[in-house]
Amino acid sequence: MTSTVAAAIDAARADGRGALVGYLPLGFPDLATSIDAAVALADAGADVLELGPPYSDPVMDGTVIQEATQTALAAGFRLRDTFTAVAEITRQTDTPVLVMTYWNPVMQYGVDRFADDLRAAGGAGLITPDVTPDAAGDWIAASRRTDLDRVFLAAPTSTDERLDLIASNSTGFVYTVSTMGITGVREDLDAAARGLVARLRAHGAERACVGIGISNATHVAGVLEYADGAIVGTALVRALRDGGIPALRDLAAELHEGTMSAGAGRPA
């Protein structure tokens, strides 16, 4: 398959740096602004966009993201708006767009229909935080048919058998969870993330991006000493909430500077 996400990560590596993956919830504070925010995030240096349709039971999301998604839902966001947003964002930027979604909305919409509509909108694939490869047969088949990326999550507690399954079924990258728990800014990233990336590589993962708790350029640079990409979410959502698109753009530019720090990027 042709993975635009893998290509973006590889292009960053060729430039001697790691990749920045930026998350924003769709529909926050409203649909039009969320589209403009995603484009601004890409323009400011995000190599990959991770966009989340609001969901009523966001078990993995921290308070900042939960509040944003509840605002979007209260404003009338519907799952079909995901495809409208992705189509408009990909019309304005070549930065690949992954949709981060819980699995229940995909099942309710229809796995094949979701894959077809995402592909038609120009989306690159899905990040699925609450479904594992062994339970995702329909999605694996649909993503292969539509040439979409499958990004599964790996945690520090994952067994070697589980990591082998995740690495062999993920495309684009493996989402490497830096710590157990919900999303949110943390002052110190768990050292377990470094060991987990090393284990994933041993199981054949070609690209590993680390997320949860990354909030500033120093965090980004630290993660990129051993990983291919750094995923930032809560800090970007907070910036958008508190200062609008200008604040979001400023933070994204700062985070991008972290990708270019000495030693950033996957080790040779």
- Long-range contacts of residues 246-249, Cβ cutoff 8 Å, at least 24 apart: 248/37, 248/40, 248/41, 248/44, 249/40, 249/41, 249/43, 249/44
177 membership: H or E segment, kind and range: strand 174-177
Provide φ and ψ at 37, rounded to 5°. Answer: -65, -40
Q: Which of 15, 30, 47, 50 is catalytic?
A: 50
61 is catalytic: yes
Contacts of residue 159, Cβ cutoff 8 Å, sequence gap at least 6 = none
Say whether 50 is catalytic: yes
Q: Which of 10, 15, 30, 61 is the catalytic position?
A: 61
Residue 100 corresponds to which tokens in the numbers above? 């981060």
What's the CA gap between 182 and 185, in Å, rounded?
A: 10
Q: Which residue numbers are catalytic?
A: 50, 61
